[in-house]
Chain A
Amino acid sequence: MPLDDRYQLAFKLYPYERSADQDATGGPVRHPVVVMGGGPIGVATALDLGLQGIPVVLLDDHEGVGQGSRAICFAKRTLEIAHRYGCGQPMIDKGVLWNVGKVFHDDRQIYEFNLLPEDGHRNPAFINLQQPHFERFLVERVREAQAQGAPIDLRGKNRVDTVDVKDDHVVIDITTPDGPYQIEADWLIGCDGASSPLRKMMSLDFEGRVFEDNFLIADITMKADFPTERWFWFEPHFKSGDSALLHKQPDGVWRIDFQLGWDIDRKEELKEENIRRRLDAMLGPDVDYDLVWTSIYTFQCRRMTQFRHGRVIFAGDAAHQVSPFGARGANSGIQDVDNLGWKLGLVLNGTAPESLLDSYDVERRHGADENILNSSRSTDFITPKSKISHVFRNAVLDLAEHHAFARPLVNSGRLSVPCVYDGLPLNSPDALPDGPARTRPGAPCPDAPLGDGFLLDHLGGDFVLLGVGVGVPDQIEAEGLALRGLSVPADGDIMDRYLGAAKGAVYLIRPDQHVAGRWPSFDEPAIAAAVSRALGKD
């Protein structure tokens, strides 16, 4: 197969360069970690590992980021993780902040909501940012880290064609503009997207539900004065689709999304005159606009049965796919990376057994199931599947106009929040029953102001022992791990979020800022046992 681009590039970020591996004479060169796919998830994986000092090679069959913004909504958790990687700020600076949403049915606004983000967090609930910019900021951070010595190697125009999966390594065949070569990886991370060639090479399943609907995306620039809000129409009076969405992006770009139904003539619908006809009906005759990017998408909600297959681990869309409603695709993929990075790091440096990686599989399948459930429910509300579901959907919309109780039933996408790893094996039992439920074992740590900055700035990357109103040692040894201690005063938001009715608390926090265990006081044997469990040794 020739090495032709399958899509146009928005940014050329990793042009092809010949690697020394291509001229190796003593057999294929072996690398500890190879990442297949340079989308947002692959690049974030390389960044996470590289910042830990782990040599990582990333292979992508293109030389940069594809045209067209698929994802536009990036959630707080993603920004927190990006901040830990050192590239959160440029995303926020460029992104559009929004809090207000309006819901319309036919020609009526039925209600308005405000996300009312909780105070005392570094990051907003959401930003809107075109996916190519999100990816560009990640790659720019990789370049910066490389300059500081992070052993990351991004190889553009390196297409993976076949893999031979052995018990303790993987042999990878690659095609480049200079012809083929071979490398080996102790671990191969599959981040090659929803149609994952790797999955097919390994004959692995990807089961789920197909939704019989087509959505037309038009990203446009216009001078019109729409506010920075999310507007969603059910059965809009302008008849441009069964539903419609208007949402602001940076650089004066607007995302408009029309639900077209199942039986459509794709080619016909993508003709500029037909797209303009729909847009004119929606925006009115006097609005001038330019088309930036248009596309029609269908979607499926599905996941692999297992994300880990020996020395091959899948992450992002390759492992699971959701509908775009709720912005759970890239956002959940970044949580995969956050979960996998530290585990792979500790396995590679011998601190944790290989079985720790099975907890990646269990925890992120749990996350994927939650995302698939939420995104399927949104889709069922937006696209009723039967006459009676249509009746109930419209009954909810009718009632929502006059009665507050019906508004929480309206579902045009439940925006992405991270899952809690409830009941999963790395958690220790909750020894602080008076503590707030939101910081129970398995939960992601909520941010809170601390000194001149924020609590999360002090957590993450490694295991931390957090004492809230209880002094903990600056450092303790447990299970071959140097645990960093952080004692903070019990006041303000930290008290609300970490103490509740308890007088004091000690939290064991994982490198991905999830709670592994919590106790009312500094109990060293209990903490050692919890560290052992969190390293997958039990």
Chain B
Amino acid sequence: MALNTDPNIPDPDGFYAELLGAHEGLSDEASTALNARLVLILANHIGDRAILTEAFAAASKSEA
């Protein structure tokens, strides 16, 4: 399996609102910590090392 970069979340607006909602009222520091926990939880759920490597590459490329 390869990294799925096609739309995959059935309820994009709802998901996005929930993501922002999770950060609401948090200091920058607390937000950063929350993001870190989220990355770890999601990464574990995916589990597949090759896909995770692809995800790192995709995320790093968007930055450039």
Query: Which positions in A face B, CB cutoff 8 Å?
Result: 388, 391-392, 394-396, 398-399, 403, 405-406, 409
Contacts and interface: CB of A to CB of B under 8 A. Distances in A.
A399 B40 contact: yes
Contacts of A395: 33, 36-37, 39-40
Nearest to A395: B36
Contacts of B41: 399, 403, 405
Given A394-B36, A395-B40, 17 more contacts: A388-B32, A388-B36, A391-B32, A391-B33, A392-B39, A392-B40, A394-B33, A395-B33, A395-B36, A395-B37, A395-B39, A396-B40, A398-B37, A405-B41, A405-B44, A406-B40, A409-B40
Contacts of B39: 392, 395
A149 to B, nearest CB: 55
A408 to B, nearest CB: 10
A405 B45 CA distance: 9
12 contacts: A391-B32, A391-B36, A392-B36, A392-B40, A395-B33, A395-B36, A395-B40, A396-B40, A398-B33, A398-B37, A399-B37, A403-B41
Contacts of B32: 388, 391
A333 B37 CA distance: 39
Interface of B: 32-33, 36-37, 39-41, 44
A392 B32 CA distance: 9
Nearest to A404: B44
Contacts of B40: 392, 395-396, 399, 406, 409
A385 to B, nearest CB: 15
Contacts of A396: 40
From A394, A395, A399, A409, name the one whose CB has the most chain B CB atoms within 10 angstroms.
A395
A391 B39 CA distance: 12
A409 B37 CA distance: 12
A399 B38 CA distance: 10
Contacts of A406: 40, 44
From B36, B39, B41, B44, name the one whose CB has the most chain A CB atoms within 10 angstroms.
B36
Contacts of B37: 395, 398-399
A468 B44 CA distance: 40
B60 to A, nearest CB: 14
A405 B36 CA distance: 15
Of all A-B residue pairs in the complex, the 4 with the closest CB atoms, nearest first, are: A395-B36, A405-B44, A395-B37, A391-B36
A391 B28 CA distance: 12
Contacts of A391: 32-33, 36
